[in-house]
Chain A
């Protein structure tokens, strides 16, 4: 196990995780390419002046055929790479930030739709800043300033329609 705070991309780079990830990516590429070819074959043929011309499936099929060996290459290179860190994933404060950030981001979008842009952005910013260990008052200042900057620059100066929200927050 790695020290608690050393986490992140670099600690995972040569780990078993990357090898597995490469293999999964290779598999996804092969399956995706096969699905693209399969779907593209069902596209109707294009005809011009009585002659068959390259239709909507032509280019995706070409790419699918090209990507299958690419996927196989990823799988083979993953199998050839020695797994040098025994397979344990360093789970710490840093790595935990990623699912937390993504979850907050995924919650932020419906929150904008419901609460409106200003309160949702302020709330999202505050929560994320606090999670990233920014002191409360500084977090308040950064979240507030950023939100107001966007509201006035995007919303007022450039007349971009910011989400008003279903409850219709005034700003």
Chain B
């Protein structure tokens, strides 16, 4: 149970100051189209390396919650999502802006984001500890399938064709094999390079894939570089905002629960959660035709869900050590960097840290309101900042971020290489999150498969005939073939009805 002393402990200056600074940074990241929450988290990781773990976690939570909300600001006012999680928020938010209700839409968005984030964290607090007890029953066999399930979800749910997601994940797994093999101590695919013995650093790889590739995409397009200013006017009555939220309270609660559940699925993140919540809200609405034309519920549903999903993504990350999305994939990497072991044992070995994370997550929702209001006020100046300047700043941060982890120039070259790969993958519609997830999960999947096979003397029976493995295997099969099977049966049913 979360104690008051643990909540108060997060107000130490060593945690509070970087936490608030990271939220200010989150405003900049989220409010600037082209910079994603994942990228923001990736850029602050090198700084957190030099802090105590809870301060680092507070910074990560601060950046992610703030940037997911501020991503909705350009989405609402410019119809340009600040982050991918804001995609669904553009639909009705921008329509309200066209009707002169942009600031009202943003106020509703802000409070719904905070409520959604709070409910997501509450569900995390309630669900995670009992789930961790259950996770203690997991052995190599179950962890192998769980890792594979996470990768499958990411590969199928990412944008583009599922086959491209699978290729991206498989390539990530292959890259993760570079370096010394943990089981036998033999170097693999290093070419004698000492820097590669410890493997390809996931932070330079990730900064390249998300940061440099985005810079390359932007600098190659003058139309994008020129995008900047916007004028916003209109006063908002907070009373009216609260009234609208109260009137649609069930939408807020329902979308938050949907967001948390979707976020808890390994591989699915805030962007998918927002679209799912929007889709369900539209399908269950009395007047679905209002959606896409400036519906308040069309704003409430995705914005509650995307912040709630962040809490959800921490459930598999903390409980099983399997990331819920690309942000928690980075979090897991950071935890390993701090010498922590994410997974069920963290609830026994580092319970105070887990409670600290819970406290930071809840209090972040309170901080989000003033920080978000400031963000809405100052966003004009952020959006006015020419993108050509922003891109150079991002690039300089990407270089120092890659270098600082190991004081290695080799890591900068790794970042550049992955940046080019990420840029080319954009052309080929190959999603990047599965590759990042595979870089993180690769060692876990390989180790558990090999150790499991050693235990069974090469037999696969224990991997399949197990009450926990079987649902995971069916889950993976459903992830790949569930859609086509359901479509087939629906088609057959509608064909019979026509006859």
Contacts and interface: CB of A to CB of B under 8 A. Distances in A.
Given A98-B216, A132-B388, A13 B223 contact: no
Contact of B450 (A21, A53, A154): A53
Interface in A126-164: 128-129, 132-134, 138, 142-143, 146-147, 150, 153-154, 158-163
Given A55-B184, A56-B186, A108-B399, A94 B389 contact: no
A17 B428 CA distance: 10
A5 to B, nearest CB: 4
A44 B409 contact: no
B341 interface: no
A8 B177 contact: no
A46 B453 CA distance: 12
23 contacts: A9-B220, A9-B427, A29-B171, A43-B186, A54-B450, A55-B184, A56-B186, A59-B446, A59-B449, A60-B177, A60-B188, A63-B170, A70-B166, A73-B163, A94-B220, A102-B416, A125-B392, A129-B389, A132-B219, A159-B50, A160-B46, A160-B404, A163-B403
B224 interface: yes
Given A8-B224, A25-B424, A56-B181, A132 B392 contact: yes
Contact of B163 (A70, A105, A125, A163): A70
Given A9-B220, A59-B446, A160-B400, 11 more contacts: A8-B220, A8-B223, A13-B427, A17-B427, A25-B424, A29-B167, A54-B453, A59-B177, A63-B174, A94-B222, A154-B400
A18 B47 CA distance: 38
B424 A21 contact: yes
Contacts of B184: 44, 46, 55-56
Contacts of B186: 43-44, 56
Which 6 pairs of residues, A with B, have the shortest CB-CB distance?
Answer: A8-B221, A132-B388, A56-B181, A8-B220, A97-B219, A70-B167
B426 interface: yes
B389 A142 contact: yes
A10 B391 contact: no
Contacts of B188: 40, 43, 56, 60
Contact of B454 (A12, A44, A53, A109): A53
Interface of B: 46-47, 50, 163, 166-167, 170-171, 173-174, 177, 181, 183-184, 186, 188-189, 215-217, 219-225, 386, 388-389, 391-393, 395-397, 399-400, 403-404, 407, 409, 412-413, 416, 420, 423-424, 426-428, 446, 449-450, 453-454, 457-458
Given A44-B186, A59-B446, A133-B388, A9 B221 contact: yes
Most buried by B among A6, A9, A43, A133: A9
Contact of B426 (A9, A46, A121): A9
Contacts of A53: 450, 453-454, 458
A27 interface: no
Given A94-B222, A150-B400, A160 B453 contact: no
A101 B216 contact: yes
A121 B416 CA distance: 16
Nearest to B173: A63
Most buried by A among B391, B399, B416: B399
Q: Specify the main secondary structure of chain A where it touches its partner.
A: helix
Contact of B386 (A18, A67, A93, A134): A134
Nearest to A66: B170
Nearest to B426: A9
Most buried by B among A117, A124, A146: A146
B202 to A, nearest CB: 17
Contacts of A12: 427
A59 B450 contact: yes
Contact of B392 (A9, A63, A129): A129
B189 A5 contact: no
Contacts of A128: 392, 395
A133 to B, nearest CB: 7
B453 A67 contact: no
Nearest to A159: B50
A67 B174 contact: yes
B219 A112 contact: no
A132 B225 contact: yes
A34 interface: no
A104 B426 CA distance: 22
B167 A51 contact: no
A127 to B, nearest CB: 10
Interface in A48-77: 48, 51, 53-56, 58-60, 63-64, 66-67, 70, 73-74
Nearest to A113: B409
Nearest to A101: B219
B167 A9 contact: no
A17 B392 CA distance: 27
A73 B207 CA distance: 29
A18 B425 CA distance: 10
Contact of A97 (B46, B166, B220, B400): B220
B204 to A, nearest CB: 12
A106 B399 CA distance: 11
A109 B183 contact: no
Contacts of A108: 399
Contacts of A70: 163, 166-167, 170
Contacts of A138: 389
A67 B174 CA distance: 10
A115 interface: no
Given A43-B188, A132-B391, A18 B215 contact: no
B190 to A, nearest CB: 11
A105 B395 contact: yes
A63 B420 CA distance: 23
